[in-house]
Structure formats: structure tokens, C-alpha cells
Chain A
């Protein structure tokens, strides 16, 4: 059979492509690139251009003349600096909290649990992603309300609505996004290395510190990309549990909707964009992008 088929002619299409790897590559790359570069990046460029425009104060119509006013105010207004700092601190806190909680969980799932229970834990950890983000945030609103469950448990010391509540809620919402890459990272650590380390007499702590942590770090970085960027851009959870707190995305949304100032909103968007790109570049060096 196989010998016969080896003699049969290949289709003309396959023959054409067989000797033209660059055409194959081109065809494979063209649609995704078109979509991502032209459609998506193009839109971002359009947005950035509008950042240099302004609005007629009364009618709200956009005036497409180039001016630097928005960019200047974004980087000089104390309000924007303060809120940016606050947002970055929130995003980093959420990342740290999630990393701390996810680390032992991912470790356990990948290295300690038996294969059957591992499947169970994987399902258990991924399922919450399907519950609506809005309802989960609202559930925390209920948990934190005066005379609510947390108030009762802590004897009246519920943090209430504000910045701590925002960090707690965001950390909760993004936890699975940290666990999954970390699990993959732990899973990739060859058991043979761990066994070798134990054979050579290292204690558990030493093995974890010197063998596992360095190997798992890219995965942690990968997970942190999600928690950081998702927190940086969030304006809904903070409206639900944040009380009167404003984060950067609230300012952007406010300028767009309340002030009808789309150019200023676009100018403000540059801040999280820069923050994310810087963070991505930093994480790229740790090899996180390969571990996502």
C-alpha cells in the first residue's frame, strides 16, 4: 500500500506549495497579520492620533487640529499622577497577592497530587472563570457590606468599600489566570531534577529555593502579566466595591463619557499603554512570553 502510494502523483496544489515555503509562510501569516497589524494596531494608532486633537468646549465636537495640550496635562496634572500611582500600586498588590496564593496551589497540583486528583483540581480551578465577572464582583460587594458575612466574621471590622476591597476583589477575580500558567510552569520542571536534588542530600527548602524557583519564575512572570494588565485597565470592579475610589481607567472613562472629551481620554490611555509595554518588555527578558 504505502509503496504504491509513494509512486502516485501528489496533487498539483501540494506540489506547488512543496517547493515554495515562502509562499506558504506568506499565506499563513497574511490573514493574522492583516487582522492584528492593520485592524488592531491601526485602531490603536488612530486612537493615539486623536490624543493630539481637542474638543470644542461647548458642543463637544472634536476639533482635528494638532495640539499638545492634552499630552502636557496628562503628564503634569497632579490628579493624573496621583491616580496613575494609585493604579500601579493596586495592580502590583493584586499581582503579589495572587502570586502568593497561587504558588502553593500550583505546586501542589503539579507535583504532589496524583494524576486523577490533578484533573479534578484543574477543573476546580478553571470553572470559576465561567462565572460572570460582574456577578463575582457583586458577590464581594455583598460579602463586604455593613452587617454582611465578613463584617460578622471579623466582628465588625469589614474593610468596607474602598481601596483594600478593590485589591481583594481584583485579586480574587484574576486568581485562576495566575494559577494556570504557574501550574504549567511547575509541570515543566522535570521530576528527575527534583529527585536528583534529593538524592544529593538537599532539604526540601533547599530544593525549592535553588531548583524549582528559578525554573518556575518565567511562569510566575507570565501569570503576572495577566494580573497586572487586567488590574491596570479595570474600571468596573472598582465601581462596584471601591466606594468613591477612582482608578486610571475610571478617569479615562470619565473623560470619555462625562466630559465628552474623547481626545483627552485617548491621551490618558497612553499612560496604561506605556505601563503595559514596559512591563511586557521587562517580563520578556525573563522568558515569560514563552511560558504563557
Chain B
């Protein structure tokens, strides 16, 4: 009967679909199924060709301003005019989102922090960068080159963009005594219960670990990203206690701006750009402070996709964003230290680089930059009993409950 024949035809088609899916192996083009030691063999681009007319990049909010947020803050339009590459910038709130977006293969590049870079490198999603094709690379701060998070196998995998710290922000109208310690957000009996905010990503566990490093030496935490099972559990316990006092977690930075302005958050971890935005909006006053236990931070790198559809535009972007003037603009807008040494002469605030310790290698070395935790401890000790990021993410969902 027709119906039966049709049904079997459909069954065959469905089976075909399934087989195809099975053969191609699901999402992600990673070449290695073995642990991190296997560096994919991808060649860097040899020559710079003509621009392709388009560029799709994944960026942290504030890194690719085109005048939409503030008409005077725009370094994308001049780039588009000069190179003819139309920029399509997708904002991501966390490194995890960035990695996942890069995996789709639809983007040419990304401004990756240290907790995304190694995942991208070993996942075969990014290619090494031919630094001779990026003239501005020469004058970038030396202490940002060939670091553990942006290089592998002796090759640079990106162009450094800038770096900064995750500081503590508070509303002085409510938090009347200026806090100097992260205990303000970790204290079980915090007076601001219900109005504390924290960053919505498993990498925030490192902040808890950093706090425990100072307050509970018996745990023996040296590096907040190299945590043994016992140390991880202690950090998780601390975060579960904090969860009871948290009002909202944020990953979209403007959600934190709105939360502080409406008063639903009064204290929590932040990026400097958020504090700047709240201040300039004028609806609420905020202050930032670097607590005594130290801070985590990020050091961002522009990376190019392994199979970028518009590689020449991407190289042109990487050179543009690290040029003296533009790097200064980004740094001032976002509130971070520029990677370009020449930018210090271009900032509108002459003391900017001093405030952010932009050329102070010693200061830079004291920030605990985001990096991806692995079983082979990232502190270089050679031990292999550390917990990996996948475990951190499972614990993170349990913390939020």
C-alpha cells in the first residue's frame, strides 16, 4: 500500500541521515582525542593579500565600538573606511561562549582571554600568527609575548591586545566603609546579602581560590588555577555559601551596569569598563578597589581562525587594533592596560598608563590571569593531580543549584 511504502522510504531516509551524522562525528573539528600534548599542525599565513571585504569577529563587549554606544567612541568605522572590510562583531559574555562560537567555524577571529586561548589552540580552531605580517607587533610590551597562554610549540598564536584586573566594585552610598578585602562578598553574614553579584562563569572559582590562598594557608593553594580535588572542594564550599547571598550573577556586562544603577546589586566583582559606564551614566555612584588578597584578571589576545574565510581582513584588523592610537582608544574606553607601548603617548588622559601600570612588568606579573585549568597543573610544577576545567564547569552548575 502506498502508505506503507512511503513509511519505509521515510525510514530509509532517516537511517541515512543518522549514518551521515555518525560518520561525520558530530560538532567540532578537533584532531586529537588524546590529552593536551597533541598540538594540531596548522601553518601560519605566509603573505598578506587583498582584503576580502568582510570580517566576522567575536569580541568582548567594548572591544569593537562602532559609535552605537557613544557616537564619539568609534574605531570600527574608520577601519571599515580604510580597509573596505565590513566588520560584523558578535559580542560574547564569557570565554566559554567564545570557544563555542569559534567551534562553529563561522568566524574569522576572536579576542580570546587566557582561559579560552589554549582550548582553541589545542582544539585546532586557531592558527599561529605570522607576526611579520603585523607591523605593530614589534612595539607591543615584551612581557606579553610568548607567554604560556598565547603561545605553543614555540609559536605565537595571537596578537596581544591589552590586560586588566577583575576588581571589586561597590556603591559607596550603601557600602559606607570602603572594603579592602574580598571578604566583603564572601562573608557568610554579609550585611549586603541579596545584593551581592558575581561573574557567571566557572572561572570565577579561581577568585574563591585566591581568597582562600590568603585566608586559609592550610589548604596550600599556590596558584588559583592549579587546584587539587581537596582545594577545589574548599573553593566550591565557599562559593555555595556565597550563593545564598548573591542576588544575581552577571555575564552581560550591561546587566551589571543596570543592576548597580537600579540598586539590585551593591557590591561585587567587576571590569573597570562597567564602573566607568555607571559613573558616566550618573544615576548611581560606584567606586572600585583592588583587595589585599590580590586579583584575577585577563590578558587578551587576538587570534585568527584556522579556517578563516576572510584572513587578510583579520590580519588588517589585528594590525589596526594594536596601532598606537586605536589601542589607546580601546584601553581608555574599556579601562585596561594597552598592549601597545606607543599608546601611552596617545591617551587623552596623560596619566592613564601610570594608573593602569601599563608598562610595569612587575605589576603585570602579579595579576592571576585567566587560564584554563588542566589536570597537568598549569603552575609549571609538573604535578598532574590538578582538576580540569570540565570539572570546574560541573561544579559551577552545582554551586548555582
Contacts and interface: CB of A to CB of B under 8 A. Distances in A.
Given A42-B14, A53-B26, A59-B123, A259 B262 contact: no
A45 interface: yes
Interface stretch (A33-41, A216-224, A276-284): A33-41
Interface string B361-401: 00000000000101000000000000011100110111011
A34 B123 CA distance: 36
Nearest to A25: B2
A23 B5 CA distance: 12
Contacts of A60: 28, 30, 99, 103, 119, 123
Contact of B32 (A38, A56, A244): A56
Interface string A249-292: 00100111111111100000000000000000000000000000
Interface residues of B, number: 54
Contacts of B21: 46, 49-50
Interface in A22-69: 22-23, 25-26, 29-30, 33-34, 37-38, 41-42, 45-46, 49-50, 53, 55-64
Interface string B78-98: 000000000000000010110
Contact of A261 (B6, B124, B390): B390
A258 B28 contact: no
Contacts of A128: none
Given A57-B390, A59-B124, A60-B119, A256 B100 contact: yes
Interface string B17-48: 11001100111111111011000000000000
Contacts of A23: 2
A147 interface: yes
B182 interface: no
Contacts of A146: 262-264
A244 B246 contact: yes
Given A38-B13, A45-B17, A260 B401 contact: no
Given A37-B10, A161-B264, A258-B202, A59 B247 contact: no
B74 interface: no
B322 interface: no
A246 interface: yes
Contacts of A50: 21, 26
B13, B97, B264, B374 interface centre (most CB from chain A within 10 Å): B264
A262 B32 CA distance: 17
A147 to B, nearest CB: 7
A243 interface: yes
A26 B401 contact: no
Contact of A79 (B36, B119, B374, B397): B397
A33 B18 contact: no
A31 to B, nearest CB: 12
B196 to A, nearest CB: 10
Contacts of A82: 401
B170 interface: no
B401 A49 contact: no
Given A56-B30, A61-B123, A63-B33, A254 B401 contact: no
Interface string B94-119: 10110110010000000000000001
Contacts, number: 146
B201 interface: yes
B350 to A, nearest CB: 40
A234 interface: no
Contacts of A22: 1-2
A145 interface: yes
Contacts of B372: 58
A61 B21 CA distance: 15
B96 A260 contact: yes
A79 B240 CA distance: 13
Nearest to A62: B26
Contacts of A255: 393, 397
B264 A258 contact: no
B32 A26 contact: no
Contacts of A46: 17-18, 21
Contacts of B27: 62, 262
Contacts of B123: 59-61
B18 A49 contact: yes
Contacts of A79: 397-398, 401
A72 to B, nearest CB: 14
A16 to B, nearest CB: 15
A255 to B, nearest CB: 8
B157 interface: no
B6 A30 contact: yes
Contacts of B35: 57-58
Contacts of A42: 13-14, 17-18
A244 B248 contact: yes
Contacts of A64: 22, 25-26
B243 interface: yes
A22 B396 CA distance: 57
A83 to B, nearest CB: 8
A246 B401 contact: yes
Contact of B30 (A37, A59, A259): A59
Contact of A62 (B25, B94, B249): B25
A57 B30 contact: no
Contact of B10 (A38, A254, A257): A38
Contacts of B94: 258
A58 B119 contact: yes
Interface string A79-96: 100100000000000000
A267 to B, nearest CB: 13
A259 B28 contact: no
A141 to B, nearest CB: 9
A262 B103 CA distance: 12
11 contacts: A45-B17, A56-B30, A58-B119, A61-B33, A61-B123, A146-B264, A243-B247, A243-B248, A244-B248, A259-B96, A261-B390
Given A58-B35, A62-B30, A161-B264, 10 more contacts: A37-B14, A58-B372, A60-B99, A64-B26, A146-B263, A243-B247, A254-B397, A256-B100, A258-B96, A260-B100
- Top 3 nearest A-B pairs by Cβ distance? A61-B30, A62-B26, A59-B123
